[in-house]
Structures are given as C-alpha cells and as structure tokens.
Amino acid sequence: MSDKARLGKGLEAIFGENVNDVLEQIQQGTMEGFQGSRQNIPCQDVRPNPYQPRKQFDQDKLQELADSIAQHGVFTPILVRVIPNGFELIAGERRLRASIMANKPTIEAIILDFSDEQMMEISLVENIQREDLNIMEEAMAYQMMMERLSLTQEALAKKVGKSREHIANTVRLNKLPSIIQTMILNQELSMGHARPLITLEKESDMIMWAKRIAKENLSVRVVEALLKKPQTIPSKPKVTHHHYDKVTRSLEDKFQTQIKVTDSAITIQYKGWDDLNRILDLLDVNEE
C-alpha cells in the first residue's frame, strides 16, 4: 500500500493505538509503506513543526543529548517533509535542537509526505503518549486541534485516547488569565491548583490567589479548602441607634456649644482657647 493511500485513512488506521511504536518503526525503516527518502540535510534548513505543542524544553537534558551527539552522532533520524526553501520537522525536535547545540552542520532525516492535519495529530499524540507535555501545553494543543480540525470534545477524546471529561477539564485552563497560564507552564502551579481558580468570577481574584499559592507554596488541599469558604467582605458591626436628643439638648444648654452624643462618646466643640477654658471651668478641671 502506498504512503498516500495509507495516509488517506487517517492516523487511527495508520498508527493504531501507539504512535510512538509506529514512529520508531518509520525511523528504523521497518514500517511498511513508509520507506521515505533517507538523507543528511542541513540543520539550518529545517524549520520547527508549527504544531509542536511542547513550549518548553529541559535545557539540562538538551545539553546532555548535545554532548552525546557531539561524541557519537544521532542514532535515530528525524522525520521531515519538504516545504519551499527547505524542510519542516514532523518529529524529533529534541534531536534537532541538540544537534544545533553540538554545532553539527547536518542531521540524518527521513523525508515523508504528511498533511497539516497529520502533522498536528502526530505532534500532539506523540507528546501525550510520552507524557512530555505540561498540562497547559496540553490544553493549548487541544484547543488548537478543535479549532483547526473542527472537532468536538468527544471526537478529540477518541483521537488522543483520553476521556471527554479529561478534555473538557483541560481545555478550561485556556480561560485562565495569561499570567496564570504562564505560571502553569513554569510549573509554579499544578492542574490541582488551577482547577479551583477557574471557579472564581473575577480575573483579579484568580491572579491574587495564584500569586499567593506560588509565594506561600500552598498545597492543593489547602487551596481547595480556602476557596470553598465564601469569599465575602466582612460586614460592619450593626450599630444600635439610641435617641440622645434630650441628653444632647441638656448638655448644649449647660455648655452653650454644640454637643454630639453617640453610643460610645460625647464630643464637645469649642472655638479658641478662651472658649476651651470656659468649658474646662464648667467641668471643674481647669488648672489654677
């Protein structure tokens, strides 16, 4: 069966349940129908996969791979497709990045004929099956696939081998403010931390709590407990108003000035030092 005939059936028919097994067979040249052209190509001519869901790469692990490639070379070829003025990566971004870090001018590649849809699916499914994705990267990838491929959550769940509930809960992370999404990408917050934040109505509250979680290193259980409590502004103590009209009039008659009487204080107003001394005389507290 030709490449195009097999590719036309979709990834489910081609890859079965494990994309990584098929990728490995293609890279080893043992996958029937996928014996693409195998050659060394310039690293600088390979553009990244535009559908790569992974946004962050462990620099220490990349350096370890680069050191290995510098000494032993790349054992497994990358997968690419031809585009105008070069190639576009299908799979193998870590190997490509590490080869560039190792100052390798070329890299071995297998050239295949993949469509945009197939590249998008293979990039997502490969990373999910390897559990390489941060939950925020996964959420962004799901959203992209649903929008570009016009998929429902249920259809997407079948494609990637996840439950519809998992897809729905993960996609909700895209509604969080960008500052919180970045915190999740940087592993300052987990999915467990983010889930209760989504229930808050105001973005300002979400951001405030996200920063507090990161600063105080709060556990998921503590965050859930705190956010279950009603987030209301404490009401002011109820003041019981009494009628002090008679008392006020009596005091004003005695001191011949304005008096204010409340539940807990009496305020006597005066005008200047002479008036103050007059009032102090009436109170019999003026010094001789």
- Residues with catalytic annotation? 93
What residue spans of the chain are helical by DSSP H? 3-7, 11-15, 19-28, 59-72, 93-101, 116-129, 135-149, 153-160, 164-171, 178-185, 191-198, 203-216, 220-228, 245-255, 272-283
CA proximity to 248, closest of 266, 273, 223: 266
Amino acid 237 reads P
CA distance 114 to 8: 10
3-state DSSP assignment of residue 271: coil
- In whole angstroms, what is the distance from residue 79 CA to residue 255 CA? 97
> Residue 242 carries which side chain, given as an amino acid letter?
H
Exposed (0-12), middle (13-18) or buried (19+): which is 46, by Cβ within 10 Å?
A: buried
Distance CA 206, CA 212 (A): 10
C-alpha 96, offset from chain centre: 27
Instruction: Find the radius of gyration of the CA atoms of the chain.
Output: 35
User: What is the Cα–Cα distance from 171 to 138, expressed in whole angstroms?
Assistant: 8
Task: Please name the residues in contact with 248: beta carbons below 8 A apart, sequence gap of 6 or more.
Answer: 259, 260, 261
